[in-house]
Every structure is written in C-alpha cells, then in structure tokens.
Amino acid sequence: MTSLRSKGTFLKLYSWLPLIILFISVLNEFDLNYLNLDYFSFNFPFILIFFFTLKDFKNFDYIFVFIAGLFNDTVVGLPLGISSLSYILICIATSYFRNITIRPSPIKDWFYFLFVVSLINSINYSILTLFFSFNLILMNYLVNTFFTFTFYIIFALVFKHYLKSIND
Amino acid sequence: MAASRDDLLIAIRSAFLKKSTQQKFSLLTLVLISAFTILLSSLDFRIIKILKSSINEVVYRSSFVVSIPENFLKNTFIEISDYTTFFYDYKSNKDELSQLRSKNISSEITQNENKELKELINDYVSSSDKILAKIIVDHESPFLKSIIINKGSKDNIKIGTNIYDQSYLVGRVIEVNFKTSRVLLLSDLNSNVPVTIAPQNIQAIITGSEDNLGKIKYIKEGLSDNFTEESIVYTSGTGAIFKSGVPIGKLTKLKDESKTNFNVEFYSDFSQLKYVFAEVITKTEIENLDDTNSKNTNPIDAKIKILEDEKEIIEDSNLKFKEENDLLKVKVNELNNQILNLNSKLSDQKEKIDQFNIDKDELEYLRLNLIYSHKCQTRKLFSTGYKIGTPEYKECILNKGKKIND
C-alpha cells in the first residue's frame, strides 16, 4: 500500500518535471558556460516552453509560465514583466502553430522555433533599448538566438523520450 | 482566398482566447497582465517598489538555494584549474608581496595626507565602514552583468553604495531590498565610472564591454597617444558617484589593424567573487566658523571673541617665532664652528702647498745644478763663471747655463 502511494507521488512529481525544471532554470539562470567562451549563451526556458506548449502538455499551465517569467526578470535584473511577455508570446506562437498544423514534423517545429525566438528576442531588445534605455550588445542576442536554435533539436529529442515515458 | 483568411483568423483567435481544459487563464489575459506589469515597473510607484522588493527577497534566496549544485560544479572546476597553476601563482605572489609591503608604507602616508586635505576641501569628514557581504547570486547574464549581495537597507546599504573586492572597486548598488541588494558590475555596458589615468593625469569615463574589459570613453583625441601599459586607472570622484582614488585596473594594449587601442583590465576578477565589501559612508559636517559667529547675538561679544582669537594667534605665532629663533641661533653657532674648522683646515693646506712649492723649486734647482754647474761655476784663470753659492750662480743655473752678460 505504502509502495503504491510512493509510486503515485513519484509519478505525480515526474509529470510535473518540465515545470520544475523551468523554475530551476529561471532561478539558476544557468548557461553551462564554464569555459568562459565569448558570447556563448542559450535560452533554455525558451526551448522548454516552446516544446511543451507545442505539445499541449497537461501540467504546463500558462500561469506558471508567466510566474517563471517574473522570477527570471528578478534574477537577471530586467524590468519586471519582460520575460513573462516573452514566454507568453511563445505560448501564443505555439498555440497558433498547433492550430494550423495538420501533420507535425520536428524539422518544421525547429525552423518555426527559430522564427519565434528571433521575433521574441527582437521584441525584447526593442523594449529594453527603446523604453528602458538599456545598453545592449546585439551580437549577444544573435549568438544567443543561434545557440538556442541549435540546442533545440537536441533537447527536443530528450523531451520526446520523456513524453513517451509519461504516455506509457 | 477568403476561406484561407478566415482559417487564419480563427487560428489566431483560438491561440489568443481559447483556454485548454487545464489552463486557468487565456493567453490574451496573460499578455495584458505582462504589459501592465512592464508599465508599472517603469513607473516609480511606492507600492510597486515594495512589492518588487519583497519578490526580490524571496526569489534571490530561492535562487541561492537552487544554484547550490551548479555553484558546486563551478567551484570545483575553478579549484581544479587553480591547482594546475598553483606553483607559478605562488612564486609570482611572493614577489608581488615583497613589493607591496614596501609600497604599503608610503601608501599609508599618502592616505593620511589625502584624508587631511579632503577634510579641508569638503567641509565634512567622511568616515566609512566596510561591511563584508556574501554574494548570493552571481549568474552573469549575457545582457546584464550584476551580482546579488546579502546586505540590504537593514545594513544601511543605499543606492549608489560602492562595492569593493579587497581595495579594488567592483561596482555600485543599483537596487536595494531589505536584506539583499543588486550590484551593477563595472564590466556592464550600463556602468559609467569617472576615472583618472595616471601618471598622465588624464580624466576619462570607463564603461563596460562585452569582453569583460573597460572601455575608455570621452577623452580628447590624441591624449591616448601618451598611454602606456604601465598606466593605472583609479576613480576620480567626479560627480560624487564613486569615492576618489579607488584603484580599478591597468591599461592593456589591444592592437587593431589600423591603430593601437587601450582598454582597462580590471584588477578584480568578477567571475570569481565570493565576498565583497560594501562601504557605508557617514558624513559629519564640520562646524563652520561663520555659523558659530552668527550665533553670537551681541556684536561686542563677537568682536571680543575675534580679538581674543587674534591675540591667541599672535601669541602662538610669537611662540613659534621664538622657538624658531632659538633654533636658528643654535644653527648659526654650529655654522660658525664649522667655518672656524674649515679655516684652520684651509691654512694647514696652504702651508703644505707652500712647502711643497719650495721643495719643488729646490729640487728643480738641484737637478739643473747637476747639469749646468760646469757652465756657471768659476774654475780656473780666465773663466767667466760665478762663485758657487752666489745669487748670480743660482740665476745662471736656473737660466740653464746662460750667463747674465750673454
């Protein structure tokens, strides 16, 4: 009986894993760059949100995505609401893409992801420079977009396995 | 065509408004809330500030806890790389330490002098306490280079408080919460620090850059030609944002294709900070003489006070003059004694020189006598010489045998 209950708790926790990872990643703001490579950075929350909202994952509530954005702004030091807006815009883009797609394909998702990330980073850059007078390096955004796009396909494979294990 | 447009509209409307079974809010609502939050955060409302501050407190602490595993990995990596350069570092540190020890003494003297001069200029004495603060979050975002420290308004930290690593400047506080604060690092693009570049004594502004080096801005063209790699950069104190005389870094040469550029290499390595010092400054106004005088309502009292002060000053100066006079008298006596000694030495030396000259003449005479004596002395009948010992004989010898009549 106890083992069944603990198994149930584990499964519940496992089904909430994407959200837990999202919160850990925004609080930690890790970019795994221990080698101090110039410009290297990638936006892991973008990949996570894009994938799981595209798949319409049941435990990936938009309100939590919104709160994760607020946390990210606090940790990074950006004006409150910027990351929330970015994350919600990803959700809108994925929701729209899900509606118009009849036959999903990972390659199509990947290139749509590039378009979405570029668009959102552009919006981000514009808001920060125009309304908040931040001095930002455009090259950082471009490299960040490139690495986020590159790593998407790798993480997508891992997440696919996760989804498969959940469905099983 | 119309049908496809309808499909697009339906898809967009569905994306914005339709809630899935699990979703509690539609995306449009969340977009509006986000936009509203951005708007509010750009306005300086007190309530927003308090709300933001409390969110910060919770998030920073959570971030600290969540970052423990990654920080552990990071520190392990740094420790391993440190061990590989351990011996080399030890040797260079040893050399540096001996150099610094010798410099430290002169530095302390300069600091004291500086403090005295500042007191004279500023009309206030600034006493500062450096509080040790731990860095709880140091995720170097590619967009904003800042750190979070575990000291806030509770510990008298204010916006603009200078932050140090040992005695090197690291940055300044840009956001204060009750128990935490955010520090904008010097390497951030938004950081501007007024500096002096020594020994050329050139004023400039240093801003951060993408490569963790400081960029020199706002200097006249041609002034950078005087820079060398030994030039050091320290805060000038202009604008009263940063305290003056705090070391920041040294200049490094970057060779471009067309010309040589100088950037600032910071003394402190911002990626490896664990603890920093926050300088809490308290300013105590020096009582102004004019103010105290104005408090005296009676003008006669004021006059008497001035006269008394004047008398005191004259007495003081008289005393000083007297002391100086005594000192000078002693010095005059000493100098007189020295002159006497020197005079006696001089006469001794003169005597010696005279004796030497006489001896020299005598020797010369004897030498010539040996050579020309047969020419000058009288020997036999009809000889035209002189008798030995007579002045004529001596003159003949000195004239190398030439007689007076010749």
**Based on the structure, what is the number of domains in chain A?**
1
Residues of chain B with Cβ-Cβ distance to A66 below 8 Å are: 25, 30, 33-34
Residues of chain A with Cβ-Cβ distance to B136 below 8 Å are: none
Residues of chain A with Cβ-Cβ distance to B44 below 8 Å are: none
Find residues 9-68 of chain B whose CB sits inside 8 Å of chain A.
10-12, 14-16, 18, 20, 22-25, 27, 30-31, 33-42, 52, 55-56, 59-60, 62-63, 66-67
Cα–Cα distance between B204 and B241 in angstroms, integer?
14
Token couple for B3: 């049908």
Residue A112: domain span: 2-167
User: Chain A within 8 Å of B99 (Cβ-Cβ)?
Assistant: no
pLDDT tens digits along B296-310: 456 677 778 878 888
Task: Please give the backbone phi and psi of residue B205, each rounded to the nearest 5 degrees, phi first.
Answer: -120, 135
**Which of A8 and B96 is assigned the larger pLDDT?**
B96
User: Chain A within 8 Å of B5 (Cβ-Cβ)?
Assistant: no
The DSSP line for chain A is -HHHHHHHHHHHHHHTHHHHHHHHHHHH-----TT--TT----HHHHHHHHHHHTT-TT--HHHHHHHHHHHHHHHTPPTTHHHHHHHHHHHHHHHHHHH-SS--HHHHHHHHHHHHHHHHHHHHHHHHHTS-----HHHHHHHHHHHHHHHHHHHHHHHHHHHHHH-
pLDDT tens digits along A55-81: 888 888 888 999 999 888 888 888 888
Confidence of residue B349 (pLDDT cuts 50, 70, 90): very high
The arithmetic mean of pLDDT across residues B19-27, rounded, is 62
**Mutation target among B141, B172, B182, B191 for the A interface, most CBs of A within 10 A:** B141
Q: Could A96 and B23 be called an inter-chain contact, meaning their C-beta atoms sit closer than 8 Å?
A: no
Residues of chain B with Cβ-Cβ distance to A69 below 8 Å are: 34
B226 secondary structure, DSSP code = G
Mean pLDDT (chain B) is 79
User: Chain A within 8 Å of B366 (Cβ-Cβ)?
Assistant: no
Chain B: residue whose CA lies nearest to A91 = B27
Which of B373, B348, B110 is closest to B244 using CA atoms?
B110
pLDDT tens digits along B226-276: 777 778 888 888 777 788 888 888 888 776 656 667 788 888 888 778 888
Q: Name which of B30, B38, B271 is nearest A66 (Cβ-Cβ).
A: B30
β-pair type (B162-165, B214-217): unpaired
Q: What CATH number is attached to the domain comprising A41?
A: 1.10.1760
> What are the C-alpha distances in Å from A61 to residues A20, A22, A120, B63, B271?
12, 12, 20, 22, 35
Q: Tell me which amino acid residue B57 is.
A: E
CB distance B293 to B305 below 8 Å: yes
Q: Regarding the domain delimited by B124-285, which CATH topology (the fold level of the hierarchy) does it fall under? A: Thrombin, subunit H (2.40.10)
> What are the C-alpha distances in Å from B384 to residues B370, B375, B387, B391?
19, 9, 10, 15
Q: CB atoms < 10 A from the CB of A71, how many?
A: 23
